[in-house]
Amino acid sequence: MIPGKIAVIEGDITQLTVDAIVNAANTSLLGGGGVDGAIHRAAGPGLLAECRGLNGCKTGDAKITQGYNLPADWVIHTVGPVWRDGNHGEDALLASCYYRSLELAKDYQIRTIAFPAISTGAYGFPPERAARIAVGTVKQVLEGNTTIEQVFFVCFSKLSYNHYRQAVQEILMNKE
């Protein structure tokens, strides 16, 4: 059953004890604001040192590092699209962030993973649309061959939490 594998929670992703947390990074992978800054602060300088050796990351792609001082063992760094007008491949690029992150998770036998609301902060992606893409893409992957047992969508506000609850209702429960 897919619904039992997906949980929506409100909180700070840096505090979660899961196998991997996903970082909404930028193409440099050298740190930034928002969730990226919070993850680097909590992980400590080892994370930035490892990121320096990764040679950046393309939009829609993902790369993995260790978690250093975080409770999570791994950090999967993915780069979401900057929202322009919706006609520049934004939806597909955002879906690709979730696919690529979960592909890496499978490669590393990761069982529990937490995602922030990628692209919905500084990158300006409309949050309800982003939540539907996140839930729909994760559902598709969980229906296939994967090591993942539990996916957490970690929302940093009540509003974001409500967007995800609505998306889960629509997509997993087939309710409007």
**Annotated catalytic residue, options 19, 36, 85, 91:** 36
101 touches ligand ADP (CB under 6 A): no
Indicate if 36 belongs to the active site: yes
- Please identify which residue in 68, 74, 98, 123 interacts with ligand ADP, judged by CB under 6 A: 123
Q: Answer yes or no: are the C-beta atoms of 165 and 153 closer than 8 Å.
A: no
Residues 6 or more apart whose Cβ sits within 8 Å of residue 32: 25, 26, 122
Q: Answer yes or no: are the C-beta atoms of 79 and 57 closer than 8 Å.
A: yes
Tokens found for residue 68? 């250093």
Number of residues interacting with ligand ADP: please give it, by CB under 6 A.
20
- Tell me the C-alpha distance between 143 and 5, whole Å: 11
- Please identify which residue in 12, 41, 66, 169 interacts with ligand ADP, judged by CB under 6 A: 12
The residues in 34-93 that bind ligand ADP, with binding defined as CB under 6 A, are: 34-36, 38, 80
The neighbour count for residue 162, using CB atoms within 10 Å, is 16
Contact letters (x/-) for ligand ADP, 138-167, by CB under 6 A? Answer: ----------------x-x---x-------
Pick between residue 98 and residue 156 the one whose CB is nearest to ligand ADP: 156
119 touches ligand ADP (CB under 6 A): yes
- Please identify which residue in 72, 117, 134, 141 interacts with ligand ADP, judged by CB under 6 A: 117
Binding part of the chain for ligand ADP, among 53-61, 119-127, 143-151, 161-169 by CB under 6 A, reads 119-127
Q: Which positions touch ligand ADP (CB under 6 A)?
A: 12-14, 24, 34-36, 38, 80, 116-123, 154, 156, 160
